Amino acid sequence: MRLKATPRRRIWFVRPTIAGAAASLLAGCTGPLSALDTAGPAAASIANLWWVMLIGATVIFVFVMALLALAFLRPGIGRRTPASWWLIGGGLAFPAVVLTPLLVYALWSGERLFPTGDPAVAQVDVVARQWEWTFTYRNAAGQPLRSSNTLHIEAGRPVQLNITSADVIHGFWVPRLAGKIDAIPGHTTVLQLKADAPGRYRGVCAEFCGVAHLEMQFAIEAHAADDFTAVLGTLAQADAPDVNAPRARP
């Protein structure tokens, strides 16, 4: 069965799709949980990476679709092209040129997102359980303090979160500030983040954890220095260890 050739309709279709998608992305970027509406250096670094990759991917995509269209619009155009141009040029050289700098940059920028282990950084122990979050602040003097479902931090200063779970696997994610990390029973995972300015930043549980997974939301409140001390003063004292810590390995 012969069809009418419709390659022109195909090309016509590609650009509006991509333009529409780009427009929707740029217009709708802000939101309380948007990873592109950044409020901290970690999220900002990742968002920049995203925009670079999006532009690169779009260019590559358009280029490849154009080659495809050309094969139909000008039949036989590649008859004298050596096969090695396609196989080695397109298949090997082209990905190498794109992926090598991307991978190197990714490893380098990823390294800077890892916790530094600096003892001067404030530490908070986070315990996830079905279906709430508990935060225990390791206070410099006196008893550790505790809060539920709202994590208080000092704006402009990094904080290291030591995260675990009391039951199933949960995910700790505050998109506007940093990437996510899982809360796994029997393990402690570490996330370091910073909020540039005071404000309230919403977080969600990012690993499916049962029937009320949706309801397990929380927030980070970043305060200016004086407010922060005052807020800490209002928190309850943590009376007992929150969950049995895994027996330390010898």
Partner 1 sequence: MTDTADPIRLHKQLSRVWGTPPGLGRLSAVNHTIVGRRFILTAFVFFGIGGILAMLIRTQLATPRSAFLGPEIYNQVFTMHGTVMMFLFAIPLFEGLAMYLLPKMLGARDMAFPRLSAYGYWCYLFGGSILIVALVLGLAPDSGWFMYTPLSSRTYTPGINADMWLIGITFVEISALSAAIEIIATIFKLRAPGMSLEKMPLFAWYMLVTAFMMLFGFPPLIVGSILLEIERAFDMPFFDPARGGDPLLWQHLFWLFGHPEVYIIFLPAAGVMSTILPVLARREILGYIWIVVSIVALAFLSFGLWVHHMFTVGIPHLALAFFSAASTAVAFPTAVQFFAWIGTLAAGRPQLKLPMLFLLGFFFVFAAGGLTGVMLAIVPFNWQVHDTHFVVAHLHYVLVGGFIFPMLAAAYYWLPHFTGRSPRVNLGISAFWLIFIGFNVTFLVMHATGLMGMPRRIYTYDDASGWEWLNLVSSIGSFLMAIGFALFTVDIVLQIFMGKRAARDPWNASTLEWTTAMPSPVYNFGSLPAVTSRSPLSDADGKARGLAVALARGEGYLGFVREQRMETLGVEVTTGRLEQVVQLPRSTFMPLYSAMVTAVFFVAVLLKFYLVAAMGFVAAIGMLVMWTRGWGERTDRGPLPVGRGESVPPHSEMKNAPSAWAMTLGLFANGTAYASLAFGMLFLWVVAPNWPPPVLLEPGLVATALAVAGLAAAALAAMRSIDPAVLAYASRREAWLAVIAVGHGAALAGFAMLMMAVPDPTRHAYLAATFVLLAYVALHTALGMVFAAYGSVRSRNGYVSVMRSLDLRIAAQWHRYTAVIGVITLLLVHGLPRIMGS
Partner 2 sequence: MTAPRNRAFLFMALGFTVWAVAFAVLYGVQGTGCELGWHRMPLGPLSLLRWLLILIWVAHLAALVWLFAIGRRALAATPAKAALEQFLWRASTVLSATAVVATVWIGLALLVPSICVV
Which residues of this protein are in contact with partner 2, per CB under 8 A?
103-104, 107-108, 110-111, 114-117, 190, 249
Angle between the N-to-C axes of helices 94-111 and 41-73, in degrees from 0 to 180, rounded to the nearest 10: 170
- Under rule CB under 8 A, residue 31 binds partner 1: yes
The number of residues in the chain equals: 250
- Among residues 97, 197, 214, 224, the one that binds partner 1 under rule CB under 8 A: 214
- Under rule CB under 8 A, residue 238 binds partner 1: no
Least distance CB 87 / partner 2 (angstroms): 11
- Under rule CB under 8 A, residue 79 binds partner 1: yes
Of the CA atoms within 13 Å of residue 199, those in its CB half-sphere come to: 15
**Between 71 and 190, CB nearer to partner 2:** 190
Please tell me the distance from the alpha carbon of residue 205 to that of residue 215, in angstroms, as a whole number.
8
**Between 169 and 232, CB nearer to partner 1:** 169
Binding partner of residue 117 among partner 2, partner 1, none, CB cut-off 5 to 8 Å per kind:
partner 2
Least distance CB 139 / partner 1 (angstroms): 25
128 and 243 in contact (C-beta within 8 Å)?
Answer: no
How far, rounded to the nearest angstrom, does the alpha carbon of residue 102 sit from its chain's CA centroid? 17
- Under rule CB under 8 A, residue 243 binds partner 1: no
Say if strands 145-148 and 150-154 run parallel, antiparallel, or are unpaired: unpaired
- Under rule CB under 8 A, residue 24 binds partner 1: yes
Please tell me the distance from the alpha carbon of residue 159 to that of residue 112, in angstroms, as a whole number.
15
- Under rule CB under 8 A, residue 197 binds partner 1: no
Q: Which residues pair with 150 in a beta bridge?
A: 219
Please tell me the distance from the alpha carbon of residue 9 to that of residue 4, in angstroms, as a whole number.
11
Binding partner of residue 61 among partner 2, partner 1, none, CB cut-off 5 to 8 Å per kind:
partner 1
